[in-house]
A and B are shown apart, each in its own frame.
Chain A
Amino acid sequence: MKVLGVAFALGATAALGLLSGVPYRAESGEHAIIRLAWRARGERVHRCRRPTDAELAKLPQHMRPQEICERGISPYRLRVTLDHRQVVDELVRAGGAQGDRPLFVFHDLPVPPGEHRVAITFERAESEEPDTDHEDDTRETPQRLTLDETVSLAPAAIVLVTYDHDRQRLVLLAGPQGDR
């Protein structure tokens, strides 16, 4: 029994070692990724209007405002075509409870390895309010950003499309070495 006990203990310890490093592949590795990831500072909008009589009637006398103002960041529309096929068409809204945080884009587009043509348009959505004022902000992302490039991807490679704040344009990064 003693020998059996020692053998079992050694076996269980070896099993622990094996289970501590189970070979696993988190991604299939047969594809590549075009990753769109950037942060943009959209147009800061500030809409004000006079409250209606009905709205004022609901409030106590001392709490009735002269005007009601809403602040936020105007949304952008993101369109992506991959090899002339539209793969993304969405409205990117600002984050945060008040909708006043920057805009974030994050998309992983899995593609087979090889050459691909990717065309991206990121443009400010038409304002729905004609009387919108906007505050001047030099850090604001341009109204329209585009990128139209052919990328060559090795298996399991990731190419990053991001926004270069200094040059104010979308750029492709294929590694820590820099632009493609």
Chain B
Amino acid sequence: MRRLTTLFQRVAWRGLSRLDAAFNRLYGWRLNPLYRSGALVVALFVVLLVTGVYLLFFYRLGAPYQSVAALTAEPWLGRWIRGLHRYASDAAVIAVLVHALRMFAQGRSWGPRTLAWVTGLILVFVTLICGWTGLVMVWDGPAQVLAQEGARLFDVLPVFAEPISRAFVGERPIPSAFFFLNLFAHIALPIGMGLLVWLHVSRVARPGLLPPRRLMWGAVGLLTLLAVLWPAPLGPEANLFQLPGPAPYDLFYTFWLPLSQALPAPAVWAIGAVISAALLLVPWLASPPLALRPVPSTVDESLCTGCEQCYLDCPYEAIAMIARPGGDEGTRSARIAHVNPALCVSCGICAGSCAPMGVGPPGRTGRDQLSAVRAFVAATRPGARSVVVIACDRGAGGVARGLPISGVHVWPVTCAGNLHTSVIELLVRAGAGGVVVATCPPRDCWNREGPTWLEQRLYHEREAELQERVDRRRIRVVHAARGNRSVGVEAIAELQAAIAELERARAEDGFDVGAACEVEEVRP
């Protein structure tokens, strides 16, 4: 089962990488909607809320179809607001699926992220239920089919004292209570979703709940345009004495209907239970074997200066500042960083944020990175005209793999965001002509904020910054998805041309970046 999950993960990742690259070419990574699918769902949720409140004023429980038909016929507001409500809910399903697929494909569904995965699944389920109740509210032909099918499915459960199906046989008019309950569910469920969204993001710091404005307004604008030009469909009124004829069905919320209608109700429940169980088990199925799991970060208390930068930078709120054990007499600070292993996903962002290199996952701290890059320099001996590409081994790794450019050395890292700036300094001072850091697009960092913090450390003096003495003209940061190799190639070519214009790089002798950095950042 675990192997099958891994296979699915790889296939999903390949497909998604290609899509990402294609969308990056079309819109650039800043406006790539695939990177902001989760935030787009929240934005669409807000659109649904606003349009839903408007529609609520016109919906009549006693004449549901007539009130919706009147709204649809109203050419100025009602027609397109109903359309926007409908299309925003459809777009939300697509965004939810893309978001879930990305988290699954990138292996961001297990360990401390289990809570987010499980609450996300519940949110998907609640979204589908909300869509169902919304479609039934209209009380057209498809609404009748959905209501009757729902009743058929629920009647096999030993929950209700009387079969629900009886309400839809035509023996008496559909009671207003049914439409009231439906409306209540349609309003109450989204309120519950708000709580679930809070839980969903509760383990991340600085959750990006809304997409960039241009992307958000672009999406809303397109949906509004669609709503104006192509009003939301409305089938003929439900008639319990007539088999429903052909009608427009919302594929996003009724995709299950043909299969469900063809199967006995217990079989439908069984299939639903199997799919739900498989999805709920993803955190366990997708987690690597214990021996291969990345180890959480640790803090070297003797080096910690209590500067709080790792605590501020951690994207998962896994680091807290605690009183130094044994008191602070004769030490650097009264407080030290403490990593909660239950919350740490071993992203290593803290390694990049710690100037004295005292925190990080074992083997990936700043000191470990310096040791590794020294060995790399000794092995490759980058020359004055050569470029070292430091590439994130995940998304941007594909950019660097097999680069067909002479004079380019590639040094892969697990995440460009946990790169310590001293590594770049060492490369430049060791005589490399230039350094290109190829990171994933900031909106697609597997560790959320890696490229953002890196860029700030390089160019905006964020703590653990690249030292003044390092020549920035020899450094480039490029954001590229796996399939956007040309972006990396262009950046390298541009840097090669730039360093050809600069004075020849010279290797310095007898410098020690690690010690220099450590001493400079000590706070008495």
Residue of B nearest to A13 (CB): B222
Evaluate whether A24 and B170 lie within 8 angstroms (CB atoms) in the complex, with A9-B222, A16-B91, A16-B226 already known: no
Does residue A68 face the partner (Cβ distance < 8 Å to B)?
no
CA distance A9 to B243 in the complex (A): 38
Whether B225 and A13, one on each chain, are in contact in the complex, defined by CB atoms closer than 8 angstroms, is yes
CB under 8 Å from chain A, chain B span 226-261: 226, 230, 232-233, 240-252, 254, 257-258, 261
Residue of B nearest to A4 (CB): B26
CA distance A25 to B170 in the complex (A): 20
Evaluate whether A23 and B161 lie within 8 angstroms (CB atoms) in the complex, with A13-B226, A16-B226, A158-B242 already known: no
Residue of A nearest to B250 (CB): A20
Evaluate whether A160 and B230 lie within 8 angstroms (CB atoms) in the complex, with A26-B244, A96-B161 already known: no
Residue of B nearest to A163 (CB): B171
Whether B252 and A1, one on each chain, are in contact in the complex, defined by CB atoms closer than 8 angstroms, is no
Whether B233 and A21, one on each chain, are in contact in the complex, defined by CB atoms closer than 8 angstroms, is yes
Whether A16 and B242, one on each chain, are in contact in the complex, defined by CB atoms closer than 8 angstroms, is no
User: How far is the CB of B27 from the nearest CB of chain A, in Å?
Assistant: 5
CA distance A161 to B27 in the complex (A): 61
CA distance A159 to B241 in the complex (A): 7
CB under 8 Å from chain B, chain A span 1-59: 1, 4-5, 8-10, 13-14, 16-17, 19-27, 29, 31-33, 35, 37-39
Whether B90 and A104, one on each chain, are in contact in the complex, defined by CB atoms closer than 8 angstroms, is no
* Residues of A contacting B225 in the complex (Cβ-Cβ under 8 angstroms): 13
* Residues of A contacting B170 in the complex (Cβ-Cβ under 8 angstroms): 35, 158, 160, 173, 175-176
Does residue B169 face the partner (Cβ distance < 8 Å to A)?
yes
* Residues of A contacting B163 in the complex (Cβ-Cβ under 8 angstroms): 95, 104, 106
User: How far is the CB of B240 from the nearest CB of chain A, in Å?
Assistant: 7
Partner of B169, one of A29, A106, A157: A106
User: How far is the CB of A140 from the nearest CB of chain B, in Å?
Assistant: 17
CA distance A1 to B25 in the complex (A): 7
User: How far is the CB of A31 from the nearest CB of chain B, in Å?
Assistant: 8
Whether A160 and B169, one on each chain, are in contact in the complex, defined by CB atoms closer than 8 angstroms, is yes
Partner of A22, one of B223, B240, B249: B249
Partner of A14, one of B226, B252, B257: B226
Secondary structure type dominating chain A contacts = mixed
Partner of A19, one of B166, B240, B252: B252
CA distance A38 to B87 in the complex (A): 40
CB under 8 Å from chain A, chain B span 199-245: 218, 222-223, 225-226, 230, 232-233, 240-245
Does residue B63 face the partner (Cβ distance < 8 Å to A)?
no
Whether B162 and A39, one on each chain, are in contact in the complex, defined by CB atoms closer than 8 angstroms, is yes
User: How far is the CB of A109 from the nearest CB of chain B, in Å?
Assistant: 13
Does residue A101 face the partner (Cβ distance < 8 Å to B)?
yes
Evaluate whether A158 and B94 lie within 8 angstroms (CB atoms) in the complex, with A9-B218, A14-B226, A24-B247 already known: no
CA distance A31 to B243 in the complex (A): 9
Partner of B26, one of A8, A22, A176: A8
Does residue B409 face the partner (Cβ distance < 8 Å to A)?
no
Does residue A174 face the partner (Cβ distance < 8 Å to B)?
yes
Partner of B245, one of A21, A25, A102: A25
Does residue B454 face the partner (Cβ distance < 8 Å to A)?
no
Residue of B nearest to A8 (CB): B26
Residue of B nearest to A106 (CB): B165
* Residues of B contacting A25 in the complex (Cβ-Cβ under 8 angstroms): 244-247
Evaluate whether A10 and B222 lie within 8 angstroms (CB atoms) in the complex, with A16-B94, A162-B169, A176-B241 already known: yes
Evaluate whether A17 and B230 lie within 8 angstroms (CB atoms) in the complex, with A5-B26, A158-B240, A158-B243 already known: yes
Residue of B nearest to A22 (CB): B251
CA distance A10 to B229 in the complex (A): 12
User: How far is the CB of A37 from the nearest CB of chain B, in Å?
Assistant: 4
User: How far is the CB of B269 from the nearest CB of chain A, in Å?
Assistant: 18
CA distance A33 to B27 in the complex (A): 54
Most buried by A among B25, B165, B166, B171: B171
Does residue A92 face the partner (Cβ distance < 8 Å to B)?
no
* Residues of B contacting A26 in the complex (Cβ-Cβ under 8 angstroms): 141-142, 145, 244, 247, 249, 257, 261
Evaluate whether A20 and B26 lie within 8 angstroms (CB atoms) in the complex, with A39-B162, A175-B241, A176-B170 already known: no
* Residues of A contacting B86 in the complex (Cβ-Cβ under 8 angstroms): 20
Whether B241 and A157, one on each chain, are in contact in the complex, defined by CB atoms closer than 8 angstroms, is yes
CB under 8 Å from chain A, chain B span 78-104: 86-87, 90-91, 94
Does residue A156 face the partner (Cβ distance < 8 Å to B)?
yes
In the assembled complex, 6 residue pairs joining A and B whose CB atoms fall closer than 8 Å, in A order, are: A13-B222, A16-B90, A21-B249, A25-B244, A26-B247, A156-B242
Q: Which 4 A-B pairs have the closest CB atoms?
A: A21-B248, A21-B233, A37-B169, A156-B243
* Interface residues, chain A, with chain B CB atoms under 8 Å away: 1, 4-5, 8-10, 13-14, 16-17, 19-27, 29, 31-33, 35, 37-39, 95-97, 101-102, 104, 106, 156-160, 162, 173-176
